Amino acid sequence: MLNKLRAGDKYGQYGYIFIAPFFLVLAIFTIFPMCYSLYLSLTSWDGSTVAPKIVGFANYVDLLKDDTFRQAVANTLIIWLSNVAPQMICAIGLAAILTDKYTEIKGKGFFRAIYYLPNLVTMASVGLLFYYILDWQSGSLNFLLVKIHVFKEPFNWLQDPTATRGAISFTLWWMWFGYSMIIFMAGIKAIPEDLFEAAHVDGANRMQTFLNITIPGIKGSIMYNCVTSVIGGLTMFDIPYVLTNGVGSPLDKGLTIVNYMYNMTFKNYNFGYGATIYAGMFVIVLIFVAIAFKMLDKNLATN
Amino acid sequence: MKRFKKLLAVVACVSMMSTMFAACGSSGDSTNSPAPDTSASPSAEASVAPSADASVAPSAVDKTAVKGEISFWHFNKDEGPNIVKAFNAAYPNVKVNLSIVPDKDQQYQNKITSAIRAGSGVPDVFSAESAFVKRFVEMPDAFADLTAKAKDVVGNMVPYTVAVGTDKNGVLRALSHQAAAGAIAYKKAAAKQYLGTDDPAQIADMLSSQDKMIATAKTLKEKSGGKVALFPTFEEPQKMYLGGRSQGWVSADNKLTIDQKMLDFIDFAKTLRDNKYEAALDQWSPGWSSAIAADDKALVWACPTWGIPWIVGSNDKKAADGGRWAIAKPPFAYFWGGTWFGIYSKSDKQDLAWDFLSQFTADKDAMKKWAIDNQDFPNNLAAIAEGSPEDSKIVGTNVFKFYEPFIKDINGSILTKYDDTIENAFVDCMRSYLAGKIKTKDEMIKTFKDKVKTNLKDITVE
């Protein structure tokens, strides 16, 4: 077909054929379910054999008055913020150390793999692992802390709101800093070598090099990590689900937006309201991503 | 154009991430149903009406002469194939097309529900676990009316299993092959050492009421120097108290009802926790499992019929040697777990499906054999009355004979389709109350009611 093309043929249009499969998949598995969820949010439906009943915006009115939803949004933001900051700092720091030309760290490849490893384990398994470590009476953390006389009595981690949220953040941090680190390392590798050499020749110390060359050089990677963590953080599910017994215990203080939506839909069989929570989450994520994109845009413009 | 592209990027990005969660079940009307095409189209309703003829009595027909093919769905990969095998031993010429769909994240329930809604690809017979059986029993178009077909056999079933399988209009829709009656299992050595006896009757008496349980717990704690608590977790007695209720969580007019038993239980659990009469473990946690194998830690576990092999036996490897465990009558009759089966209301193979269903839910000999082969407990009063062919090694008693006297006291009518959500909320509030995060009982009840109200919008909470 291609050798029949002549000058002036718009062969660019064949590109659409090549990208069509993606959009087909997107339409079937993403766009359609999205529209269907929006339709469900206007109905009252228990997911059973009786057809959904249109109730208009009643679910949305409920959502605006729903304290649990507000609590879930707050929880999600708190857990996300307390996870993303240490994650970025750790990842950038480790990436800088592991890529530093002038400090020859032995076994670089080994550490890189070790830090990345937790990311390869299934979320639910990691959640369960931490759940058992944090178990009140029989968990190894309490066992250790009591043994070395930090605590007199085992501390009930997962009944304390702050400790529960902290545990979720920590677990997510443990899983994801390696992943961010790899991206930062790639970013640092892309900085022209001569910049570092020039700095070295000029007598800049490590901190100066890091602040004035590395950080500005990986702005793009930082933004990329921020945007993906906004989306990933606001839709977090597995780890909080496992660590909070699936119900957001203690008393909804560990309930994330997606947990709430999941429980409402698949445990309480309230598909209509579940879809409304989804719509609420969609709006929130949209706002945050728009902000992140705006910043990314500005950032790329100044570079 | 640039602006549009950016907008497109944002929308695509957000939608992809957020629908990963939102989409998974609501519309996933999967087409790759592994079940063979046995569907009855929604219009073919001719065979739905249950015929009242008496030809269904399973014993009257030559089972080897029955031929055909039916489809059967189960959520349990161990039990499903065994049921088919046991059935085919009697009916060698009926082909059962089994498919197993685990109920992880309600996958099994959603698959069946969407099949029923679509009216195609629904299996002729499908199972439902105690946690969601009520949902299917009450769901329009799900299970067929078995009242007429089963009228000769229900009298021989443990009454609570029939009550669970009956919908709110009194129509029988699901039957069970097992009775998951509850008892208490205790460690004999610790009981003998600290309570002075390991006799089941005396232990049962020591635990026969709330006051007696507290007194026993006190003795146990003092005598053992705090090494042995009465229960490993408050969730053990909770199973019994739930069974001891006289009304379910949700009344006939859809109101949340907190039975007096549960109000008593809140105080009881608090007393247990404050005095360290329970070991504060979580049910099914590794600590809980290892406490079963330990000689001390806790004395009494809630133990349904299946719990003898699967709670005691599988956690305490030495239990099968005998002499370590015994079972006693619980303070309140209760049941825990179990699986029910029903026929799809629009299946065009009602009679064959009934042959299948009745073989393992109503045939005494087959059920007895099943119970022995699978360490199960038959839902058949005649089989129970005959006693187990041999005593259980783990608890050293004739299990059928042991449960027989109180099995009829179990109240199956208190189960509602909302129980799972309500009990999750209850346990969450209980944990906070026991941990001291909720200060008073009134506040705990209020929190519980609020949680139920948030989660279940179609029931009234006062």
Q: Mind giving me the DSSP string for B25-94?
A: HHS---S---S-S-PPPTT--TTTSPP--GGG-TTTS-GGG--EEEEEEES-TTHHHHHHHHHHHH-TTE
Q: Is there a contact between A135 and B6 if contact means CB atoms under 8 Å apart?
A: no
Name the residue in chain B with its Cα closest to that of A271.
B26
Least confident of A68-82, B48-62, B355-369, B442-456: B48-62
**CB nearest to B106's CB, from A29, A66, A266:** A266
Query: Between these two residues, B406 and A24, which has the higher pLDDT value?
Result: A24
Residue with tokens 């005593």: B391
Give residue A140's pLDDT. 87
How far apart (Å, rounded) are the C-alpha atoms in residues B168 and B315? 39
The answer to whether residues B237 and B305 touch, using CB atoms and an 8 Å cutoff, is: no
**A 155-174 near B (Cβ less than 8 A):** 156, 159-160
Name the residue in chain A with its Cα closest to that of B422.
A268
Q: Is there a contact between A285 and B424 if contact means CB atoms under 8 Å apart?
A: no
Contacts of B140 in chain A (CB under 8 A): 48-50
User: How does residue B6 score in pLDDT terms, banded at 50, 70 and 90?
Assistant: low
Q: Does A290 lie at the interface with B, CB-CB under 8 angstroms?
A: yes
Q: Would you say residue B12 has pLDDT above 70?
A: no
**A 56-85 near B (Cβ less than 8 A):** 62, 66-68
- Altogether, the residues listed in chain B come to a count of 462
Peptide bond into A250 cis (omega under 30): yes
How far apart (Å, rounded) are the C-alpha atoms in residues A40 and A36? 6
Q: How many CB atoms lie within 10 A of CB A283?
A: 10
pLDDT digit string, tens, across residues B199-228 = 999 999 999 999 999 999 999 899 988 889
Instruction: Provide the residue ranges of all domains of chain B, joining segments of one domain with +.
Output: 55-180+338-386, 182-334+413-455
The answer to whether residues B248 and B257 touch, using CB atoms and an 8 Å cutoff, is: yes
CATH number of this structure's domain B182-334+413-455: 3.40.190.10
User: How does residue B51 score in pLDDT terms, banded at 50, 70 and 90?
Assistant: very low
Query: Between these two residues, B417 and B18, which has the higher pLDDT value?
Result: B417
Give residue A291's pLDDT. 87
Give residue A142's pLDDT. 86
**A 119-138 near B (Cβ less than 8 A):** 132, 135-138
Q: Is there a contact between A132 and B285 if contact means CB atoms under 8 Å apart?
A: yes
C-alpha closest to that of B342 among B217, B180, B224, B166: B166
Domains defined for chain A, CATH in brackets: 58-302 (1.10.3720.10)
pLDDT digit string, tens, across residues B242-252 = 988 999 999 98
Taking residues B6-31, report their average pLDDT: 46
Query: Between these two residues, B418 and B13, which has the higher pLDDT value?
Result: B418
If you average pLDDT over every residue of chain B, what do you get? 84
Give residue B40's pLDDT. 37
> Å from B378 to nearest chain A CA?
30
Mutation target vs A (from B2, B26, B135; most A CBs, 10 A cutoff)? B26
C-alpha closest to that of A231 among A292, A172, A285, A296: A285
Give residue B341's pLDDT. 94
Contacts of B429 in chain A (CB under 8 A): 251
Q: Would you say residue B229 has pLDDT above 50?
A: yes
Residues 6 or more apart whose CB falls under 8 angstroms from that of B264 comprise B210, B241
Taking residues B130-141, report their average pLDDT: 90
**CB nearest to A231's CB, from B17, B139, B288:** B17
Query: Between these two residues, A13 and B424, which has the higher pLDDT value?
Result: B424
User: How does residue B43 score in pLDDT terms, banded at 50, 70 and 90?
Assistant: very low
CB pairs under 8 A between A and B: 157
Q: Which amino acid is at A186?
A: A
Give residue B4's pLDDT. 56
C-alpha closest to that of B346 among B170, B139, B52: B139
The answer to whether residues B240 and B332 touch, using CB atoms and an 8 Å cutoff, is: yes
Mutation target vs A (from B2, B13, B18, B315; most A CBs, 10 A cutoff)? B18
Q: Would you say residue B49 has pLDDT above 70?
A: no
> Å from A143 to nearest chain B CA?
12
pLDDT digit string, tens, across residues B90-125 = 899 899 999 999 988 778 988 998 899 888 889 999
Tell me how many helices (H) and strands (E) chain B has: 19, 10
C-alpha closest to that of A260 among B422, B443, B21: B21
User: Read out DSSP for chain A?
Assistant: -GGG--TT--GGGHHHHHHHHHHHHHIIIIIHHHHHHHHHTTEE--SSSSPPEE-TTHHHHHHHT-HHHHHHHHHHHHHHHHHHHHHHHHHHHHHHHHH-SSS--TTHHHHHHHHHGGGGS-HHHHHHHHHHHT-TTT-HHHHHHHHTTS-SS---GGGSHHHHHHHHHHHHHHHHHHHHHHHHHHHHHTS-HHHHHHHHHTT--HHHHIIIIIHHHTHHHHHHHHHHHHHHHHT--HHHHHHTTTTTSSTTTT--HHHHHHIIIIIS--HHHHHHHHHHHHHHHHHHHHHHHHHHHHHHHH-
Contacts of A289 in chain B (CB under 8 A): 10, 13-14
Residues 6 or more apart whose CB falls under 8 angstroms from that of B142 comprise A49, B112, B116, B136, B173, B342, B344, B345
Residues 6 or more apart whose CB falls under 8 angstroms from that of B163 comprise B411, B412, B413, B415
- Backbone CA torsion sign across B429, A253, B442, B216: positive
Residue with tokens 């002038």: A102
Name the residue in chain B with its Cα closest to that of A38.
B22
How far apart (Å, rounded) are the C-alpha atoms in residues A204 and B409? 84
Mutation target vs A (from B8, B13, B14, B443; most A CBs, 10 A cutoff)? B14
Contacts of B135 in chain A (CB under 8 A): 48, 269
Q: Would you say residue B17 has pLDDT above 80?
A: no
> Å from A82 to nearest chain B CA?
21
Q: How many CB atoms lie within 10 A of CB B146?
A: 27
> Å from A123 to nearest chain B CA?
14
Give residue B2's pLDDT. 53
The answer to whether residues B319 and B313 touch, using CB atoms and an 8 Å cutoff, is: yes
Q: Is there a contact between B14 and A29 if contact means CB atoms under 8 Å apart?
A: no
| CATH-assigned architecture of domain B55-180+338-386 | 3-Layer(aba) Sandwich (3.40)
Q: Is there a contact between A136 and B280 if contact means CB atoms under 8 Å apart?
A: yes
Give residue B420's pLDDT. 87
> Å from B110 to nearest chain A CA?
8
C-alpha closest to that of B356 among B65, B34, B71: B71
Taking residues B429-452, report their average pLDDT: 93
Give residue A4's pLDDT. 60
- Altogether, the residues listed in chain A come to a count of 303
C-alpha closest to that of B194 among B273, B327, B322, B296: B296
CA end-to-end span of chain B: 56
The answer to whether residues B287 and A144 touch, using CB atoms and an 8 Å cutoff, is: no
Residue with tokens 């944990």: B431
pLDDT digit string, tens, across residues B153-201 = 889 999 999 999 999 889 999 999 999 999 999 998 899 899 889 899 9
Exposed/middle/buried for residue B73 (C-beta within 10 Å: 0-12, 13-18, 19+): buried
Q: Do domains B55-180+338-386 and B182-334+413-455 have the same CATH topology?
A: yes
> Å from B409 to nearest chain A CA?
30
Mark the ranges of chain A whose per-residue pLDDT is less than 70: 1-9, 11, 299-303
The answer to whether residues B116 and A49 touch, using CB atoms and an 8 Å cutoff, is: yes
